[in-house]
Amino acid sequence: MLVQGNEILHKAHKEFYGVGAFNFVNFEMLQSIFEAAHQAKSPIIVQASEGAIKYMGIDMVVGMVKTMEKRYPHIPVALHLDHGTTFESCKNAIEAGFTSVMIDASHHCFEENLSLTKQVVDFAHTHGVSVEAELGRLMGIEDNISVDEKDAVLVNPQEAEIFVKETKVDYLAPAIGTSHGAFKFKGEPKLDFKRLQEVKKLTNIPLVLHGASAIPDYVREAFLQTGGDLKGSRGVPFEFLQESIKGGINKVNTDTDLRIAFMAAVRKVANDDPTQFDLRKFFTPGMEAMKKVIIERMQILGSANKI
């Protein structure tokens, strides 16, 4: 059932678990996410970035999700715009049928981020759609980074409190040291859990972790074994994901893990049988590989068996 983001995340917030927000760029990813949710009995958020919307067309994005939610009516699902950059982009998504949008204005100054977020919230709430915003910059932090440097890139908890009060945003992504993609940390992984707890205490709303892919060893290995190159890749360890959830994270954004798992399986078919050109022979194992990663994640985040 297609529901607004709040419906899924308020429950997660109250019961202290995390819900995977999985990016998709095609039917295969979407199908894997729904099938995993079905098997793990988990609610889901499916999200499309502006790039993904450009790639598929917004009518296709919404059409596919509406078909899937009919196919799996027992699964609570929200359709979310990931990293919306403008008011128009959020408005288009809302009018097309998205039930949740992110306005990402965190690269602007605090006042501009606040006023743009407020504008999106005012519009979204009159349409029954939930809104996510971001504070701070997504960036790895290292042990030897100074307090000043940390303060320059990570969320400021006092600002977060003001921001949430003034904008009435539904959920917030506080930067605590993660980044997008396969190369999140140069040395040992490090996140600012104290800052996270502080933000949770002062805002008391669902919080979002971006750049939350773990790149589990078996996924990296599968990619490397096919001749792929991911040298130096490092994700957010599972223990860190669980620690984040204890600190108040409820929406856990995941894209990279799915891409690597899928492409490792596709590469394997290509290597094993150079004569193969039936797309389904590549994509079926790709979907199986993604599904495994997603189910494992649902168990780790605590959203499994919540429906």
- Whole-angstrom distance, CA of residue 109 vs CA of residue 75: 39
Task: Determine, following the binding rule CB under 5 A, whether residue 234 of this chain makes contact with Zn ion.
Answer: no
Task: Determine, following the binding rule CB under 6 A, whether residue 167 of this chain makes contact with ligand PGH.
Answer: no
The DSSP output letter for 130 is: E
Among 255, 262, 290, 298, binds ligand PGH (CB under 6 A): 255
**By the 8 A CB rule, do 259 and 286 touch?**
no
Distance of closest approach, residue 211 Cβ to Zn ion, in angstroms: 6
Binder of residue 106, out of ligand PGH, Zn ion, Ca ion, none (CB less than 5 to 8 A by kind): Ca ion
- Whole-angstrom distance, CA of residue 96 vs CA of residue 42: 25
Per-residue contact flags (x/-) with ligand PGH for residues 192 to 211, judged by CB under 6 A? ------------------xx
Distance of closest approach, residue 104 Cβ to Ca ion, in angstroms: 4
Task: Determine, following the binding rule CB under 6 A, whether residue 181 of this chain makes contact with ligand PGH.
Answer: yes
Burial of 303 (0-12, 13-18, 19+ CB in 10 A): buried
Distance of closest approach, residue 148 Cβ to ligand PGH, in angstroms: 26
Specify the length of the chain in residues.
307
**List of residues contacting Ca ion (CB under 5 A):** 104, 106, 134
- Whole-angstrom distance, CA of residue 150 vs CA of residue 131: 26
Binder of residue 89, out of Ca ion, Zn ion, ligand PGH, none (CB less than 5 to 8 A by kind): none
Q: Which residue's beta carbon is nearest to the bound Ca ion?
A: 106
248 closest CA partner among 178, 140, 172 = 172
Per-residue contact flags (x/-) with Zn ion for residues 242 to 261, judged by CB under 5 A? -----------x--------
- Whole-angstrom distance, CA of residue 23 vs CA of residue 82: 8
* Element of type H or E holding 299: helix 279-301
Residue closer to Ca ion by CB (options 69, 134) is: 134
Among 184, 210, 259, 306, binds Zn ion (CB under 5 A): 210
112-151: which residues touch ligand PGH (CB under 6 A)?
Answer: none
Residue closer to Ca ion by CB (options 244, 253) is: 253
Active site residue 192: no
- Whole-angstrom distance, CA of residue 120 vs CA of residue 141: 30
Residue closer to Ca ion by CB (options 82, 296) is: 82
Residues ≥6 apart with Cβ < 8 Å to 16 = 245, 246, 302
Binder of residue 254, out of Ca ion, ligand PGH, Zn ion, none (CB less than 5 to 8 A by kind): ligand PGH
Catalytic-labelled residue, pool 82, 192, 255, 257: 82
Residues ≥6 apart with Cβ < 8 Å to 146 = none
Q: What long-range pairs does 57-64 form, CB within 8 A, spacing at least 24?
A: 58/92, 58/93, 58/96, 59/96, 61/96, 62/96, 62/97, 62/98, 64/27, 64/30
Distance of closest approach, residue 265 Cβ to Zn ion, in angstroms: 24
- Whole-angstrom distance, CA of residue 152 vs CA of residue 85: 21
Distance of closest approach, residue 72 Cβ to Zn ion, in angstroms: 25
Distance of closest approach, residue 108 Cβ to Ca ion, in angstroms: 10
Binder of residue 256, out of Zn ion, Ca ion, ligand PGH, none (CB less than 5 to 8 A by kind): ligand PGH
- In DSSP terms, 134 is beta-bridged to 173
Catalytic residues: 82
Contact set with ligand PGH (CB under 6 A): 23, 82-83, 180-181, 210-213, 253-256
Residues that bind Zn ion (CB under 5 A): 210, 253
